[in-house]
Amino acid sequence: MGKVVSSNKMARTENITDMIVFNILQGKGYVNGNFEPLDKNVYVWTKQSGNVAINKLLSNASKRKTGKKGYPDYIIYDSKADFVIVIENKKDVLKHVSKSIKESYTEEPDFLKFDRAEEFAVDGALWYAKNLKEEFDVIAIGVSGNEIQNLVIDTYIWKKDAELFNNLNIQTITSIQEYRKILEDKPELKLSKAAVMNERAKKCNDFLRDYLGVIEHERLYVLGAVLFALNDPIFRIGYTKCTDDKDLSGVIWHMVERKIDGSKINDKDIVKNELKSTLLTLGESGKKETKEKYPKGALLELVNMVDRILFDYHKNGEIDVISAFFNVFLSYSTSGGSDLGIVLTPPHITKLFCDLAKINLDSRILDICAGTGGFLTAAWKKIKHGEDSMEKEKIEAFRDHQLFGIEKDKSIYTIISLNMFLNKEGNSNIYKGDCFSLEEKIRGFGCNVGFINPPYSDSVYSEIRFVELMLNVLLPGSTGIAILPINAISSRTKKHNRINEIKQRILQSNCLLASIQMPVNLFYPKGTESVILVFRTGEQHHGKTWFAKFDDGYELIKHQKTRTPTDQAGVKYETLLKAYREKSETEFSFNKPVGYEEQWVYTLLTDNEYDITDYDLQETLNEYVSYLFMNHYL
């Protein structure tokens, strides 16, 4: 956080509203009559700031949009809770808040241009909050009126990195203790890590597109390379001295090249060829407007942005921020990876796979459709941070010799290699190639756990055919888990035929232990309905299969592309795991014998009772007739 370098005396002012606010701040214990702070943790400035970080964020925050610096009437910084309060005043109550802010503060931020920030108190306060929220939680207060009795006050909060602000519905200026309590006691205003990463990834994605002209999946190359470079302490200290993007891009490329050359990945030339041209052309952005806006270079600005975004969290002890940011960025830059032929598996689902399989230090994990390495990454985290985390040698052996992946597409193979570098995982067992052509080689890995999210758009092989291959190459008695579209196990699908034939072959050699139907919008923005299937290999299917419908406790927040966990997500997760391990029958699960001809889906097999009374029928008819009248159909 920026160091406080000064505390100023209140400038002379003839603005009556400013004086009223000064008296309120004095009465609430912020300052004394000489405008000296009364709390050593709280700094108060008027029309300027003595905080380096705040000054930097307001350096081009002029309300006139001139690109020059701008300051609100009052700035209050609480160093204890690390948040900022901005207060903007207007003497005329008619200039309190514009109609666009008052009526649409919950709408998409693109509609909020703050074109009237200079004219209205609330608009001005929110404009400054928009600039400050890159680094701080911000309380934005608009004050209007020149008499205490007609004073109008509105209070908003703009959480750090959030797209939207919220109205706190507080019509007074209160004490610093009350604002601290608001930040602590309003969990609905606290963004999850996934949501924060989502916001930050979007910024990087837009910057790469708009200012560096990087296309789709190559944005992943750039971000992965920058993240890797920033892990080097010497680079982090020295990159700001670069004043030429061409030199900076060369430095980043050579750092990545050395890593590739020293690694054990199997197809180094593919990764190098994919990355080299993308990284070295970063210094050739020829847009005149870009050079005018970033005279030291757009690439330097990007590196600085990523540095601030990642290491703010890293310094606070966040675990695996780099991987989380990388995966969320993938969902933004490629619309979930669909243009690369993949559907990104959410991290809490890759974690669920590991828990369903009960992986341990003896597990040998296989993913024949590795994509960006989500399942392998989750397995590594599970072991690295698990109960056996003290067994260092076995953990290192697991990383280096017990994670196996196959990926056919060279672009995705490059991405998974970068992801492995970033997560410091073993990468000597990641192979490029067609899993069907490499069947015998894969069988030789001797894996006892298989995870798969097969391609949903392959025109040759159906999704269930990938599942069959995975089960065939695992050792007998292994656990194989797949997540795939519901229509992949339905004979009604028209895309691929002979699905029942494949399902019959699977059940002849494998036991279907469980089928877990997933939330409808799990892969949002894709509308794919999916199901998780759990198999034990090497034995013919027998007995009952456990069927469940999983409510993961995640919700889709308006205007966000990532589903975020509610307070119940953890409880629901553990409830599902407990029910699965006990194969218990609950309100969301049951046991039932099935064969290859059934659909293997909870909702298609559950027994529903429909007992419709005359009263129910009459009520429905009444509602329908009312609807017809209200909509002028009758």
Let me know the angle formed at the C-alpha of 136 by 131 and 137, rounded to the nearest 5 degrees: 105
Which of these, 453, 396, 461, lies nearest to 424 by C-alpha position?
Answer: 396
Residues 307/322, Cβ–Cβ less than 8 Å: no
Q: What is the pLDDT of residue 341?
A: 54
Strands 530-537, 545-549: pairing kind:
unpaired
Please tell me the predicted confidence (pLDDT) of residue 324: 59
Distance CA 480, CA 451 (A): 6
User: Quick one: which of 160, 122, 116 has its CA closest to 140?
Assistant: 122
Beta strands across the sheet bearing 589-592: 430-432, 403-407, 365-367, 449-452, 479-485, 530-537, 510-517, 545-549, 589-592
The backbone torsions φ and ψ at residue 158, rounded to the nearest 5 degrees and listed phi first, read: -125, 105
CA 400 – CA 245 distance, rounded (Å): 36
Residue-level pLDDT at 329: 62
Helices (H), 391-479: 392-401, 410-423, 439-443, 463-473
* Distance between CA atoms of residues 480 and 510, nearest Å: 9
Helix-strand-coil split of the chain, %, nearest 5 = 45, 15, 40
- Where do runs of H (alpha helix) occur along 368-436? 374-384, 392-401, 410-423
In order, the DSSP letters of 205-252 are HHHHHHTS---TTHHHHHHHHHHHHHTSHHHHHHGGG---HHHHHHHH
* Positive/negative CA dihedral, 304, 305, 311, 312: positive
User: Do 510 and 480 meet the contact criterion of CB atoms below 8 Å apart?
Assistant: yes
Residue pair 10/62 in contact (Cβ under 8 Å)? The answer is no
d(CA 213, CA 302): 12
Q: Which of 302, 128, 293, 107 is nearest to 200 (CA)?
A: 302
Give the C-alpha separation, 130 to 133, whole Å: 6
Mean pLDDT in order along the chain per 10 residues (634 residues): 40 67 92 88 90 87 82 92 93 88 50 77 93 90 90 91 80 92 67 63 82 84 87 86 89 91 84 91 77 86 82 49 58 53 78 96 94 86 74 86 91 82 69 94 96 82 93 97 90 66 95 95 79 97 95 75 79 95 95 92 73 69 66 56
Residue found under tokens 């309380």: 139
Structure tokens of 618?
A: 């009459």
Q: Which of 326, 425, 333, 331 is nearest to 378 (CA)?
A: 425
In angstroms and rounded to an integer, the radius of gyration of the C-alpha atoms of the chain is: 29
Query: How many whole angstroms separate alpha carbon 216 and alpha carbon 444?
Result: 36
